[in-house]
């Protein structure tokens, strides 16, 4: 391993796998309309070939990078598996049907999208966009379908709301990671500084969703189809407010800072218990729904499509995508491909505005090629923190930028762990809901504009003493 310590690819060598993966993904997804798995797998093989044959790394080193890359997502993979079982048990147990049933009675199509983005409140309290999408988001997709709102719009509203809460909650891992990695910024200063981006982006998003909702006012779906869906659900499930207890249980656990794995697993088990007690399901049926997903057979197509979801097996497409994407990213990181590219990018940043733009683009780039939001935050903050100080720009500007680019763009990329999770939980491709994830897009745009205009970009005097864990 020692003889490899000084090995580094040239910029040309480092760009080979990057160019290949862009072409492979673009051609595969757009032209051939295939899933991204195999293009990413072949791109990983190209990256390994360049690293071994052209740069001089040994296979053991590349393999180590692959495994370390995959290990970054092991918690996410376990959570995905549990969310699959949770969806299956919650449908079998009448939890999701009850949320859809009551939602159809309370909400109308024209206000639904605004109501969906209020998932922000849940994300603020639990500090997790994933837990929000994996619980409330699932029900909102069902309600939206019942109201005749396109799934892509609903998913865009859910993702927007979830990421507002996630990036503003002191309980969120990324909200703590960004200032912690940047240094000289405490988490509460970081949150306050993000308000300059978050508040206007959130207000604009609410207005857009309200305007979009107007097109659904007075639709026939609000009458006949809603009644049909509600009656079909009530015929096949016991529906009462007690069915909402598992949702409150999970939210309370996460709000009490119980880690998401035991919290979601507890919710999954409680859903199975509810299926046994309230829905009269047999133990084998509950286990089958948790494993293979619930299959609804009511004869009403819209309800059958709505409630035939979940299961451990249902998450395997997403999990395999995460494995392949992070294997590719792990090779790029371990063989110093990313380091070489980022060093060359830094050479073009001569002003605070250009440095801000380069940092935004770097975070997005890392999200695209490594499929991991944590790497997007950590690598960008690590690469540019000294450059920000040297230009007299406060580190809190950098911490805000890496969140506004690294965190909120991650669910918009299908092969990123966050995008793959949202795809698995909501059943909507990130490319489909991307045009409707208004908060994510607007917050990114505002953050870039602030960098060039200097608005809210605080100065760095060089003599401030702050720590990431200060109050």
pLDDT tens readout for residues 141-194: 988 888 889 999 999 999 999 999 888 887 687 888 888 888 888 888 899 999
Position 126 confidence tier, pLDDT thresholds 50, 70, 90: low
Q: How many angstroms separate the most distant Cα atoms in the chain?
A: 72
Question: Cα dist. 436→33, 208, 214, 229 in Å?
Answer: 22, 9, 15, 26
- How far does Cα 434 stand from its chain's mean position? 12
465 pLDDT tier (thresholds 50, 70, 90): very low
Choice between 56 and 132, residue whose per-residue pLDDT is larger: 56
Q: What percent of the chain has pLDDT over 70?
A: 94
Which tens digit of pLDDT belongs to each residue from 30-69?
Answer: 788 888 889 989 999 999 999 999 999 999 999 999 998 8
Query: What value does the mean pLDDT of the chain take?
Result: 88
Please return the burial class of 343, using the count of CB atoms within 10 Å of its CB with bins 0-12, 13-18 and 19+: middle
In this prediction, residue 107 carries a pLDDT of: 80
- State the burial class of residue 427 (Cβ atoms within 10 Å of its Cβ: 0-12, 13-18, 19+): middle
Question: Is 60 exceeded by the pLDDT of residue 16?
Answer: yes
pLDDT value, residue 381: 86
Question: Angle at Cα 69 formed by Cα 63 and Cα 71, nearest 5°?
Answer: 105
pLDDT band at 469 (very low <50, low <70, confident <90, very high): very low
Sign of the alpha-carbon torsion through 133, 424, 106, 240 = negative
Q: How many H helices and E strands in the chain?
A: 26, 0
Q: For residue 2, what pLDDT band results from cuts at 50, 70 and 90?
A: low
Q: Do 373 and 407 form a contact (C-beta atoms < 8 A)?
A: yes
**Residue for token digits 């440095």?**
355
209-259 pLDDT per residue, tens:
999 988 886 654 445 677 888 899 999 999 999 999 998 998 788 778 788
Cα angle 440, 443, 445 (rounded to 5 degrees) comes to 105
- Whether residue 309 has pLDDT greater than 80: yes
Cα–Cα distance between 42 and 327 in angstroms, integer? Answer: 11
Residue 123 has pLDDT above 50, yes or no: yes
Q: Rounded distance, CA 117 to CA 439, Å?
A: 9
Average pLDDT for 260-285:
94
Q: What's the token pair of residue 282?
A: 């047999």
pLDDT at position 218 is 60
State the pLDDT confidence band at 459, using cuts at 50, 70 and 90.
very high
**What's the whole-number mean pLDDT along residues 71-94?**
87
Locate all alpha helices (DSSP H) within 133-186, ordered by sequence: 138-147, 151-168, 173-182
Kindly state the average pLDDT of the residues 375-397: 88
What pLDDT is recorded for position 466? 42
CA–CA–CA angle 198, 379, 318 (5° rounding): 75
Residue 88 has pLDDT above 70, yes or no: yes
**Cβ-based neighbours of 49, under 8 Å, separated by 6 or more:** none
Structure tokens at 392: 């007299």
């Amino acid at each position: 391993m020692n003889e490899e310590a000084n090995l580094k690819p040239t910029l040309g060598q480092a760009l080979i796998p990057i160019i290949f993966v862009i072409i492979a993904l673009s051609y595969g997804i757009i032209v051939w309309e295939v899933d991204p798995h195999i293009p990413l797998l072949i791109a990983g093989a190209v990256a390994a070939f360049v690293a071994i044959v052209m740069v001089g790394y040994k296979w053991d080193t590349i393999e180590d990078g692959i495994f370390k890359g995959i290990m970054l997502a092991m918690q996410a993979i376990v959570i995905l598996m549990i969310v699959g079982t949770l969806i299956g048990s919650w449908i079998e147990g009448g939890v999701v049907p009850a949320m859809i049933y009551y939602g159809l009675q309370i909400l109308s199509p024209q206000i639904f999208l605004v109501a969906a983005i209020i998932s922000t409140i849940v994300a603020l309290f639990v500090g997790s966009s994933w837990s929000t999408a994996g619980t409330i988001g699932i029900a909102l997709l069902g309600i939206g379908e019942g109201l005749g709102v396109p799934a892509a719009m609903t998913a865009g509203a859910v993702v927007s709301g979830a990421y507002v809460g996630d990036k503003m909650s002191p309980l969120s891992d990324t909200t703590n990671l960004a200032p912690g990695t940047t240094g000289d910024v405490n988490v509460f200063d970081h949150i306050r500084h993000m308000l300059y981006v978050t508040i206007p982006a959130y207000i604009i998003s609410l207005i857009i969703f309200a305007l979009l909702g107007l097109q659904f006012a007075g639709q026939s779906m609000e009458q006949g189809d809603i009644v049909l869906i509600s009656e079909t659900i009530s015929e096949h499930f016991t529906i009462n407010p007690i069915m909402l207890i598992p949702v409150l249980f999970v939210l309370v656990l996460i709000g009490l800072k119980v880690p998401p794995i035991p919290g979601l697993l507890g919710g999954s088990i409680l859903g199975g218990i509810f299926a046994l007690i309230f829905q009269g399901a047999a133990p084998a049926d509950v286990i089958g729904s948790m494993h293979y997903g619930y299959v609804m057979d009511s004869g009403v197509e819209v309800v059958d499509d709505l409630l035939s979801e979940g299961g451990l097996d249902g998450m395997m497409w997403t999990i395999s995508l995460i494995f392949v994407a992070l294997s590719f990213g792990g090779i790029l990181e371990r063989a110093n491909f990313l380091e070489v590219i980022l060093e060359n990018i830094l050479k073009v940043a001569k002003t605070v505005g250009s440095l801000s733009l380069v940092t935004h683009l770097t975070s997005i780039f890392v999200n695209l090629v490594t499929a991991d939001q944590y790497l997007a935050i950590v690598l960008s903050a690590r690469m540019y923190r000294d450059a920000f100080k040297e230009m007299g720009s406060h580190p809190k500007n950098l911490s805000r930028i890496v969140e506004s680019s690294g965190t909120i763009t991650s669910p918009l990329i299908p092969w990123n762990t966050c995008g793959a999770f949202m795809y698995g939980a909501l059943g909507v491709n990130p490319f489909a809901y991307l045009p409707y994830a208004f908060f994510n897009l607007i917050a990114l745009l505002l953050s870039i504009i602030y960098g060039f205009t200097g608005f809210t970009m605080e100065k760095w005097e060089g003599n401030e003493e702050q720590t990431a864990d200060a109050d």
